[in-house]
Structure 1
Amino acid sequence: MYGHVGAAAVARQVERDNLNELIRVAEVEHRPVAEGEIAALREQLQRARWAQTGGGVDDA
């Protein structure tokens, strides 16, 4: 009855594991990204979304 729920959870975990591996490889090849850089990019993205929507409601 709940097999599809378990399969979805496994699929999400595999996706997380794959993303973590990609991040690890990218950090080895380049460098780790600092939390401050992430915050600055997040703010930049939010400003860009605000500008595109004319300051409307954020759908994200």
Structure 2
Amino acid sequence: MATRKITITVPEELVESIKERVDARGVSGYIAAAAAHQDAMDRLRELAERLEEEHGAVTDDEQQAALDRIAAIDGWHDEQDSQAEEAA
């Protein structure tokens, strides 16, 4: 992926906090990852808004059903991991 150098203004305390925890990626990599995450969240929010406009709001029951399905999938993956560790 091509990169471009830009100038941003960040509070000094934030820069120092980032410098305390970065590895080889450095401050630029850390901030690029944060910006990419925010961009993904913004795009997801835009998608959710479009879907809600087209299909209506998700009901509490639908949301709970989705969370239950995610929990079931997580449980299945945990079980697969345990079985793989036992077999190793």
TM-score by length of 1: 0.69
Superposed CA RMSD in Å reads 2.9
Unaligned runs of 5+ in 2: 1-25, 83-88
Does 2:50 match 1:8? no
Give the % identical residues. Answer: 29
Structure 1 stretches of at least 4 aligned residues deviating more than 3 Å after TM superposition = 44-50
- Equivalenced residue count is 57
- Per-residue CA deviations over 1:1-59 (Å, capped at 9, x if unaligned) read 31100000000000000000000001001101023311122224434665x56xx3678
**Structure 1 portions without partners, runs of 5+:** none
Decide whether aligned partners of structure 1 residues 5 and 49 sit closer, same or farther in structure 2, where only a CA change above 3 A counts: closer
Kindly name which structure, 1 or 2, has the bigger radius of gyration based on alpha carbons.
Answer: 2
Q: Does 1:30 align with 2:55?
A: yes
State TM-score, norm by structure 2: 0.50
